[in-house]
Structure 1
Amino acid sequence: MTASVFPKAALFDLDGTLLDSAPDFLATANRMREARGVAPMALDELRPYVSRGARAMLGAVFPDAGQADREARVPEFLNIYQGEIGRHGLPFDGVAALLETLENNGVAWGIVTNKPEYLAREILPHCGWETRCAVLIGGDTLAERKPHPLPLLAAAERIGIGPADCVYVGDDERDIVAARAAGMRSIAALWGYRLDGEMPAEWGADAAVERPAQLLDATAWPRRR
């Protein structure tokens, strides 16, 4: 029997996968609500929407606002969030040990997120990742974003490792869709952000993991097809 080994490269979603950024977004949301005389919201009200981006979060923050009003507030949301980055959120428990284990086993790791690249890059120094992350692709880096496979394919190309030798880890269905279209194995991060009723078992991931610490074991990573 062939011994289990880590993949040559591990690519990760950011919000809800590596980083529990919900507290930073909550601070952003409540600053905007306060400015409009609206009572603060609780973390549990916002958390399920974080992986879906600014527009989805604004829908939760201002449920009575029309789509045009929410769209107009996106620049304000991102500007306030930029000032809150790293002040409240932290990597999920077990992520630091996971990344160290990957590095110790010669695994290149990187980030493919739909967050704007300039905001994602601001996070790296707060986590000590700026010299360790092999590649960072944001939602505006290329002409397409997840669930399109282009960001994952570009990440693999930049680190010089074929898609079949990469595994993508994410907490949203579009992460798994993108990985499958890119010819990568995928892991559903069950510790991330999900709306009620979402069924990760139906996403078609090659594996599903409850906690980052489980990925310290090479056997938890799906083998190359």
Structure 2
Amino acid sequence: MLDKPHAPAFPRAALFDLDGTLLDSAPDMLATANRMRDARGLPPLALETLRPQVSKGARAMLSVALPMLETDAREALVAEFLAVYREELGRHSDLFDGVAAMLDALEAAGTIWGIVTNKPEYLARAVLPQFDWEPRCAVLIGGDTLAERKPHPLPLLVAAERTGVAPADCVYVGDDERDIVAARAAGMPSIAALWGYRLDGDDPETWQADLRCESPHALSRPSGWRSRNP
């Protein structure tokens, strides 16, 4: 648990979702969606229209970008979406405010950190050099790295194994309910990142995270990792 009386000030290992947790990638996703819309003679979307869908993945974003298409037709465009996104990746996005300081604080405390995302691994790895994370990120698991993806616990269990830290001594931070479901199934404490992407109907209070956190800045301090949910 996050509030063990004799636990270290920071967790031994911290694992993070990527989009909506570490990276504000919505502007890149918007550029991708609007390129696809422009190619079909459609006007651009506003950021606030697409932003809530970003953590839900390419298919959810396509449902907003091209709502006139049937599900099967949108499914056939997933590969195009990912190809266009690869060209836009990093051109418009940036870290959420406070993420850089949080990672610096974790490293200074000797905490191992890594990324577990449902983004395809090749796209997630393309993010690392943009922030000089290649030598710093201890493990990266993408949505296609293993046979299962979140909300299945396997990606978190494998990430913990690769860091050499037991799941109970890791903490997973994510902005989507499936992040919290995966962590709970893995026996790993979790933090709901309230600064991320959510649909209007999403209620983090129902996710059963060990902690809900408003800002990455709070996780730059040891007290930010201690359970205080009612």
Range into which the TM-score falls when normalised by the shorter chain: over 0.9
Determine if the alignment matches structure 1 residue 139 to structure 2 residue 143: yes
Partner in structure 2 of residue 17 of structure 1: 21
Determine if the alignment matches structure 1 residue 125 to structure 2 residue 129: yes
CA contact (8 A) 2:194 2:212 kept: yes
Partner in structure 1 of residue 47 of structure 2: 43
TM-score, normalised to structure 1, is 0.97
Partner in structure 2 of residue 93 of structure 1: 97
Q: Quick check: 192-201 or 214-223, which moved more?
A: 214-223
Partner in structure 2 of residue 156 of structure 1: 160
Which residues in structure 2 correspond to 1:155-174 (within 5 Å)?
155-174=159-178
Amino acid aligned to 2:122: Y
1:104 CA drift (Å): 0.2
Deviations 1:102-152 (A, max 9, x none): 000000000000000000000111121111100000000000000000000
1:96 CA drift (Å): 0.2
Partners in 1 of 2:169 and 2:11 — Cα distance? 6
CA contact (8 A) 1:186 1:222 kept: no
Determine if the alignment matches structure 1 residue 216 to structure 2 residue 220: yes
Instruction: State how many pairs are aligned.
Output: 223
1:222 CA drift (Å): 3.5
Alignment counterpart, residue 31 of structure 1, candidates 26, 32, 35: 35
Which residues in structure 2 correspond to 1:69-84 (within 5 Å)?
69-84=73-88
Moved over 3 A (4+): 1-4
Gap regions ≥5 residues in structure 1: none
TM-score, normalised to structure 2, is 0.95
CA contact (8 A) 1:14 1:111 kept: yes
What secondary structure does 2:41 align onto? coil
CA contact (8 A) 1:176 1:186 kept: yes
Partners in 1 of 2:8 and 2:187 — Cα distance? 20
Amino acid aligned to 1:222: R
Partner in structure 1 of residue 200 of structure 2: 196
Partners in 2 of 1:215 and 1:119 — Cα distance? 26
Partners in 1 of 2:86 and 2:147 — Cα distance? 23
Amino acid aligned to 2:12: K
CA contact (8 A) 2:150 2:182 kept: yes
1:3 CA drift (Å): 7.5
Gap regions ≥5 residues in structure 2: none
